[in-house]
Structure 1
Amino acid sequence: MKTKRHGAVLGLIAAGALLLTACGSDNNTPAGGAAQTAGESSTPVECGGKSKLSAEGSSAQKNAIDTFIQSYQQRCSGSDLAYNASGSGAGVKQFIAAQVDFGGSDSPLSDSKGEVAGAAERCQGNPAWHLPLVFGPVAIGYKLDGVTDLTLTGEVAAKIFNGTVKKWNDPAVAALNSGASLPDKDIKVVYRSDESGTTDNFQKYLTAASKGAWTQGDGKQFKGGVGEGKEKSAGVAQAAGSVDGAITYVELSFAQDNKLSLAKIDNGAGAVELNAESVGKAIDGATVKGSGNDLVLDLNSIYGSSAAGAYPLLLATYEIVCSKGYDADTAKAVKAFLTVAATDGQAGLADAGYAPLPKAFQDKLLTAIKAIA
């Protein structure tokens, strides 16, 4: 898990638009479990079934999953989950191959790549559902000696990440940072070399926000054509943190761990700092475009938004599960873990660099989790 210092950025989210899970009284006994201790959610959890679940995928949510596991072990004695943070692409593949009980991905299953059909086949002919359990801002993190205050637009960010803007003192960067002493130094792009939902979301943001400057498209593979690739979130953050002049896109907690400076983003309504208030405003604007209990989010309206004070670059990590098709023991354990993650587990997310679930999403999630069979 991440240290408490991440709470300095996101620890006040509960005071804004987001609502943390309500705590229940300590005399409530959830179905299938022991009596609650103080601080547990009032939501009943039916513990039991498979004693050790397996999951794989998004490295962006790894620290959130660690938090969920701790809550799961506390709420359901003797139960556990093994999570392999191999990246979203690998998580989807392993889920479809029935090698894990659920997958973690920062982007929805692709119909054109056959992932939707493959997941349905793995689920005994039933559709897979996307459950957005983890929200987190994506930082444009950089290391540049002498420069700790930097503003970028979607357009200029796109030009940096596709190689059109090559120098830190390029006029396009200088125009957004009047008074800053920008060095005549090469910009060194660091990108994710493995398949990554973070890359997919970042490229979707560039497509929506760059006024046509990003023509490379989106997807889990970086398409900018410049820079140095590193595996996983930790890899890109470590690489960028070790080279003066480097820039990357990475989840907030990893940027903080490697002491990267965080660029402000001007979406047309002024420069927006990545903080609790700006993240909360962005998440409040997210809508569901999936049907029924398949909670796929429409983030394009956020990426291209010019709403004042909203930080427009974030991702939602989905747990990809079978709506039906599990054996009874696996279904019971999956439902128990996800219920705990959506309730008790949310309380520790701000300290790990994430944003707790808005109440509206929490309610939708619990309805979907309950319907898994």
Structure 2
Amino acid sequence: MKLSRHGVALSLATAGMVLLAACGTDNGGGTGTSAAAGSTADISCSTGSLTLAGSTAQQNAMSEWTKNYLSTCSGSNINYGGGGSGAGVQQFQQGTIDFAGSDFPLAEGSEQQAADARCKSGPAINLPMVPGPIAVGYNVPGVPTLNLSAATIAQIFDGKVTNWDSPVIAKDNPGVTLPNLPIQTFHRSDGSGTSYNFSNYLANEAKADWTYGANKNWPAPGGQGSKGTQGIAQGVKTTPGGIGYMELSFATQSNIPYAKVGNAAGKFVELTTANVANFLSKAKVVGSGNDLKLQFDYTNTDANAYPNLLVTYEIVCSKGNAPDKLPLIKNFLSYAASTAGQQPLANQGYVPLPDDLRTKVQQAISSLA
């Protein structure tokens, strides 16, 4: 399936919205069937309330899952507050939420230690749940399609290439008439997993041109900072000459065109479901036990591998979850990781987990205590 850059608009879930269930079982053993056909096949119901926060990249996925789960299961509340990956991890460490969504895994050292301390009787683990491509959206009048190598993107966001008719950009786009128009870059002003993954792409695919490494706090000088991906999308949308990195759903809902980007094979790759899956399939699990932290293979030479993506993890205690919340945590996450939970993601600008990885995630969820 190809992801249309001018597809149906995707509604963002309102931060902090509490969705209330209407019907279903409440003992953790039933399977709901009352929501949309095919979307609730793997739901087992539990009563209780969960407070969640973190990644805005997975906001649309969380909205879909909570809608389906809570319309099937009575006596359940699930509140996903968003707020960004960094804020979500902090709230999880402080014990104010039940699990967090984060577009980067827990960092070794103090961040992991603080999360483990919150769990008390078992380490916090990273469960990959929502793969999502990062689009390089742009606003260049008269240029409906654009190729950008990783090196060119790096030089643009480093401020070394400042005009759209630069020979550097022209080299990527032979035969295309590029306007004499200043470039205005937009980046996240808040700590962001999207920033981490986008800068990680540049650090790996444009090593000679990107010296800032990978960081959740935007590391390069210049450009305009915007809070949240919605701010970046708005900036690009309203600024001729603008360019920014954003989750695909934000580009599609704002009708922002996005570039084909360069990969390790030296090809300009279109952002499609199949091309993202080609890259994601080579990722390796580098965590231990049920910690399923991934490492992307940026050396992947598949000509059709789209290498600019993130994976949202659910950061959860392997042990030490509150007994009154554990059944709902497990049943909700089990549904999210099921085939029924993953299949609708393709219609929302995401990519479903590969089956082998999805199976590992389900096994890890079943072991939560």
Give the TM-score taking structure 2 as reference length: 0.89
2:142 is the alignment partner of 1:143: no
| Match in the other structure for 2:325 | 330
Give the CA deviation at 1:216.
Answer: 1.1
RMSD of aligned alpha carbons: 2.1
| Secondary structure in 2 matching 1:47 | strand
Pairwise CA distance, 1:76: 2.4
Residue of structure 1 in register with 2:69 after alignment = 72
Instruction: Specify the alignment match of 1:89 in structure 2.
Output: 86
Match of residue 368, structure 2, among 362, 365, 372: 372
The answer to whether 1:53 aligns with 2:50 is yes
Residue by residue, what CA displacement relative to the aligned partner does 1:121-151 show, whole Å, maximum 9, x if unpaired? 1001421010111001001110110011111
User: Any idea what SS the aligned residue of 1:155 has?
Assistant: helix
Q: 1:161·1:224 contact (CA, 8 Å) conserved in 2?
A: yes
2:32–2:44 contact (8 Å) kept in structure 1: no
What is the CA deviation profile of residues 52-95 of structure 1, one whole-angstrom value per residue up to 9, with x for unaligned ones? 21111111111111111112113423323111111110000000
State the shift of 1:47 in Å.
2.4
1:27 equivalent in structure 2: none
Identify unmatched segments of 5+ residues in structure 2: 8-26
Which amino acid in structure 2 is aligned with residue 107 of structure 1?
F
User: What number of residue pairs does the alignment pair up?
Assistant: 347
Alignment match of 1:62 (pick from 48, 59, 62): 59
CA contact (8 A) 1:46 1:332 kept: no
Please, which moves more after superposition, 93-102 or 70-79? 70-79
Alignment partner of 2:97 out of 85, 97, 100 = 100
Partner of 1:242: 238
- What are the within-5 Å matches in structure 2 for residues 121-136 of structure 1? 121-136=117-132
Contact 1:72 1:341 in 2 (8 A): no
Deviation at 1:269, TM superposition (A): 3.6
The answer to whether the Cα contact below 8 Å between 2:261 and 2:269 also exists between their aligned partners in 1 is: yes
CA contact (8 A) 1:48 1:329 kept: no
- Equivalent residue, structure 1, for 2:278: 281
* 2:157 match: 161
Q: Distance in 2 between matches of 1:9 and 1:78?
A: 39
Amino acid at match of 1:137: P
Q: 1:342 to 1:359 in 2, by over 3 A?
A: same
Paired position in structure 2 for 1:193:
189
2:13 is matched with none
**Residues 5 and 251, structure 2, Cα contact 8 Å, conserved in 1:** no
- Partner Cα distance (2:187, 2:80) in 1: 24
Alignment-mate amino acid for residue 189 of structure 2: S
Contact between 2:278 and 2:305, CA under 8 Å: does it hold in 1?
Answer: yes
| AA of the residue aligned to 1:236 | I
Secondary structure of the structure 1 residue equivalent to 2:312: strand
Kindly indicate whether the alpha-carbon contact (under 8 Å) linking 2:6 and 2:253 is maintained by their aligned counterparts in 1: no
Partner of 2:38: 39
Aligned counterpart for 1:271 among listed residues 268, 271, 274? 268
> Residue type matched to 2:325 in 1?
T
Q: Following the alignment from structure 1 to structure 2, what is the Cα–Cα distance between the partners of residues 279 and 345?
A: 19
Name the residue aligned to 1:24.
Answer: none
CA distance in 2, matches of 1:125, 1:31: 24
Partner of 2:69, secondary structure, is helix
Match of 1:261, SS state, is coil
| Letter matched to residue 241 of structure 2 | G
Report SS of the residue matched to 1:147.
coil
Residue type of the alignment partner of 1:339: S
AA matched with 1:39: G
2: CA distance between counterparts of 1:35 and 1:325?
28
2:307 is matched with which residue?
A: 312
Identity of aligned residues (%): 42
Ranges in structure 1 where 5+ consecutive residues have no aligned partner: 12-29
Separation in structure 1 between the aligned mates of residue 280 and residue 152 of structure 2, nearest angstrom: 24
Displacement of 1:305: 2.9
Q: Distance in 2 between matches of 1:190 and 1:125?
A: 42
The amino acid across from 1:281 in the alignment is: N
Could you list the per-position Cα deviations for residues 11-44 of structure 1 after superposition, in whole angstroms to 9, with x for gaps in the alignment?
Answer: 9xxxxxxxxxxxxxxxxxx95225646525665x
Letter in 2 for 1:316: V
The answer on whether the counterparts of 1:264 and 1:272 sit within 8 Å (CA) in structure 2 is: yes
* C-alpha contact (below 8 Å) 2:28/2:46 kept by paired residues: no
Amino acid at match of 1:98: G
2:22 alignment counterpart: none
Query: Is 1:361 matched with 2:357?
Result: yes
Partner residue of 1:255 out of 239, 251, 254: 251
Q: Is 1:212 paired with 2:208? A: yes
Name the CA shift for 1:216/1:285 in 2 (closer, same or farther; >3 Å): same
Task: Check whether the contact 1:9–1:275 (CA below 8 A) recurs between aligned residues.
Answer: no
Q: Distance in 1 between matches of 2:315 and 2:237?
A: 32
CA contact (8 A) 2:188 2:195 kept: yes
Q: Which has the higher contact order (CA 8 A, sep 6+)?
A: 1
For residues 212 and 125 of structure 1, do their structure 2 counterparts lie closer, same or farther at Cα, with a shift above 3 Å needed? farther
| CA distance, structure 1, for counterparts of residue 273 and residue 99 of structure 2 | 30
Q: CA deviation at 1:348?
A: 1.8
Amino acid at match of 2:46: G
Contact 2:188/2:232 (<8 A) preserved: yes
SS of 2:324 mapped into structure 1: helix
Q: Which moved more, 1:71-80 or 1:228-237?
A: 71-80
Counterpart contact for 2:40–2:341, Cα < 8 Å: no
Partner of 2:108: 111
Partner SS, residue 29 of structure 2: coil
